[in-house]
Amino acid sequence: MDSSQFRDAAKGAVDEIANYYDTLEERPVLPSVAPGYLRPLLPDSTPEEGESWDKIQADIDRVIMPGLTHWQSPKFMAFFPCNSSFPAMLGDMYSGAFNAAAFNWICSPAVTELETVMMDWVAKLIALPKEFLSDGEGGGIIQGTASEVVVTAVVAARERLVRRKLADMPESEERMDKAADIRGRLVALGSEQAHSSTQKAAMIAGTRYRSVPAPKETNFSVTAAALRKTIEECREKGLEPYYFTITIGSTGTCAIDDLQGIAALAKEYPDLWIHVDAAYAGSALVCPEYQHLCPPIAAFDSFNFNLHKWLLVNFDCSAFFIKRRKDLMDTYSITPSYLRNPHSDQGMVTDYRDWQIPLGRRFRSLKVWFVLRSYGVNGLRALIRKHIDLGEYMHDLLKSRPDIFTVVTEPAFGLVTFQINPSPPSSAPTTTEDEAHPRHEACLNGLTSSDTQKANQTTKQVYEKMNAKGEFFLTSTVAGGRYVIRVVSATLLSEEKYINGVFDALVRVATREGEDEEEKEERGDSSTR
């Protein structure tokens, strides 16, 4: 493909992409294919001769489209969003064209320097404490995902503790053996509501993992008292906690851990690396009404959120901020002769390879630059506030039908979780809507385990039926022993009409309205026998 052919192919691809976005609302959000659908559609091996672009492009519709889950659809209300935007796509296009490995400054100075500036822009945009800006001891770096960031932080935390404990020992086999003994006693901590990436990172780092309780009584948040108790319990067993993930917006319910209390506690445990995971909810910090959460972050070692979730920068783009960049560099900086250059040797430049696990890296700051300039602060704030309002709207709809739904967690960052109330026995007395509300709210406040089990079973059945229909895509979680449905509507195309649509669909499935005779037969209703 020469440059002329590329122009034609690229124009056709752009037209197809634009048409895809124009028709997202009409497409089923979930694919209807079965596992293994794709292999029979493709040859067994690479073609002997190169094929024309027209033939290749045609296979996007034939092979790929049938197997796509449409994350940008307004009917996608599962997990958290993974938003895209046209300015970010253009950034990816330029990044692909320049195609630099960019492991150190000399590889392409613009790649390094734009990233440094953009991470400062982002830090200021979300009101991070000044300790995380590059003009001091800190700074930011773009990584692939929040999970990758957690691994990077966990390994750096492990090695920082080892360095501190063995600071007076010269390099020797004895020092290596002592370091191994220390690592064998280390334990990483995370909320029981935190993302599983902390446990996975501890496993990769070769250390233990313990979860810190975050029960319903504290709104599924870790308190300073709970963290202290877990730390001391570990120490009583001869273990040394070295890392803790504190959460702003937990995966299940968007809970926020006790930032102020744990910030005060951090002074008592200076060797405990505290990392703030705000993968989704961190984007809301662009709004001043959420920036009261930021001051305590100055007490912690690192902070992360994903611009590719809620801030319109295409996947992958995870912003990782560190208070003392030396903590990363002391762990990850190894300089063989082929990576040496006078700029790096004299300490005049940033080499991001020394801040991370991989060597090479892409020009991801381009898409950050394009998005921030295209939308501006006000545009990004308007987007976040719109989605938060949609969460409140969904919450109000659920509360309007207390005979069917029980809200488990109040709306947070656009996310709401709820259960489906089990149908009362046919012999139960009829209640008014006002009477039904407290009865079902009591399900969350200590009714029997049998009641909880029935609510869990009913909720799971409705959840599975909703996704089987394929009209909307939702996800579930377990919070405080309760199986709940999560709804978060936060794509560029999200609107109230889609919230109304998912609510109406939930009502129909929960009440079995419109269920045809075949469905009743499958369920085994005696009325159809």
Q: What DSSP string runs through 175-241? A: HHHHHHHHHHTEEEEEETTS-THHHHHHHHTT-EEEEEP--GGGTT---HHHHHHHHHHHHHTT-EE
Name the 3-class secondary structure at 401.
coil
- Pick one of 1.10.10.10, 3.40.640.10, 1.10.10.60, 3.50.50.60 as the CATH number of 100-363: 3.40.640.10
- At residue 514, the pLDDT reads 56
In the prediction, which pLDDT does 430 show? 41
State the pLDDT at residue 338: 52
Q: Is the dihedral of CA 162, 163, 164, 168 positive or negative?
A: positive
Enumerate the CATH 3.90.1150.170 domain ranges in the chain, comma separated: 1-30+69-83+377-529
Taking the C-alpha atoms of residue 457 and residue 470, their distance in angstroms, rounded to an integer, is 21
Query: Residue 42's pLDDT is what?
Result: 94
Which residues sit opposite 473 in a β-bridge? 76
User: Residue 448: its pLDDT value, please?
Assistant: 60
The alpha-helical segments, DSSP class H, found in 99-141 are 109-125
Pure H helices in 240-364 = 259-266, 307-310, 325-332, 342-345
CB 383 within 8 A of CB 374: no
Spatial separation of the C-alpha atoms in residues 229 and 247, rounded to whole Å: 18
Per-residue model confidence (pLDDT) at position 526 = 38
pLDDT of residue 234: 96
Q: How big, in percent rounded to 5, are the helix, strand and coil portions of the chain?
A: 50, 15, 35
Mean pLDDT of the chain: 88
- What integer pLDDT is reported at residue 340 of this predicted model? 54
Token pair for residue 226?
A: 């709970």
* 94 touches 369 (CB < 8 A): no
Report the CATH architecture of 1-30+69-83+377-529: Alpha-Beta Complex (3.90)
Question: In whole angstroms, what is the distance from residue 371 CA to residue 492 CA?
Answer: 13
The pLDDT value recorded for residue 342 is 57
Identify the segments of the chain with pLDDT beneath 70: 105, 335-349, 424-448, 514-529
Q: pTM of the predicted model, to two decimals?
A: 0.88
Cite the residue boundaries of each domain of the chain with CATH code 3.40.640.10.
Answer: 100-363
